[in-house]
Amino acid sequence: MTQEARLREQICLLAKSMFDRGLTGGSTGNISARTDDGGLLVSPTGTSFGRLDPARLSRFDAKGTLIGGDPPTKEMPLHTAFYDTRSTAGAVVHLHSCHSVAWSMMPEVDADDFLPPLTPYGLMKLGRVKLLPFFLPGDPAMGEAVRGLAGKRSAVMLAHHGPVVAGKDIEAACNAIEELEETARLAMLTLGQSPRMLTPDQISQVVTKFNVEWGA
C-alpha cells in the first residue's frame, strides 16, 4: 500500500470514529491532510464523516489545483488559511461538536482564550484558542480571519458553528480537536459552579515543560 493510500484510509477511519462518537453529525465537518508531494486530500462537499470513501476524497496538487476525486468542502478557505500561515500544519479538522458550540454562546467566554484552564491537556494540545465571530457557512471571510492571526494559533472556534484545528499530522489534529471538545464539555458541566482553575503558576509550568505554543 502506498503512503497516499494509507493516508486516505487513515482520514476515513478517524473521521468515522469521530462520527460514531457523536463529535459531528449528518454531513457536517470537514477534514484534510498533506500528501508527500505537497498536495492535499480533502473530504468532499456534502459528505458524512461516517461514510467517507477513500477513493473519492478530493485530491489537490501542490499548486492547489483539484486533480482528482469529488468537489471539495465549501470550507476550503479555512483549510488553506491554516496551511498557508502555519508551516507545521500537516492536517486540519473542522467539527460541529456540541459542547464547544454551546460554550461559544456563553457570555463569559474570553474571545482571546476560549477554553478555561481546567486541565493541562487542553493547554498541551491546543495552546490558546481564539474565538472568532459568527460567519455564514462557507463565507471566505472565515479564512481571512484565520489568516489575520498570522499563524499564531493552531486552533480557532467559530462562534455558533464549530472548532477548527491544525496539527502536525492527521492523528495529532484529530486528538487535539477532541481535547478541545472535552474541555468545552467540562466547562459546560461546571458552568455556574465556580470550579477551581489551574493557577497562573501551574499554567506557566505546563507551557514551559511541554513547550506549548502560547500564541498572542
Specify the DSSP class assigned to residue 129: P
Digit-by-digit pLDDT tens for the chain (216 residues) are 899 999 999 999 999 999 999 999 999 999 999 999 999 999 999 999 999 999 999 999 999 999 999 999 999 999 999 999 999 999 999 999 999 999 999 999 999 999 999 999 999 999 999 999 999 998 999 999 999 999 999 999 999 999 999 999 999 999 999 999 999 999 999 999 999 999 999 999 999 999 998 866
Among all residues, which ones are annotated catalytic? 121
CATH fold of 3-209 reads L-fuculose-1-phosphate Aldolase (3.40.225)
Q: How far, in Å, are 25, 97, 105, 142, 163 from residue 100 at the CA level? A: 14, 6, 9, 17, 7
What was the pLDDT predicted at 165?
98
* Cα–Cα dist 192/160, whole Å: 21
Closest CA to 58 of 86, 85, 30: 30
| Nine-digit cell string for 56 | 473519492
CA angle, residues 40, 46, 48, in degrees to nearest 5: 85
| Nine-digit cell string for 20 | 460514531
What was the pLDDT predicted at 1?
83
Q: Break the chain into its structural domains and give their ranges.
A: 3-209
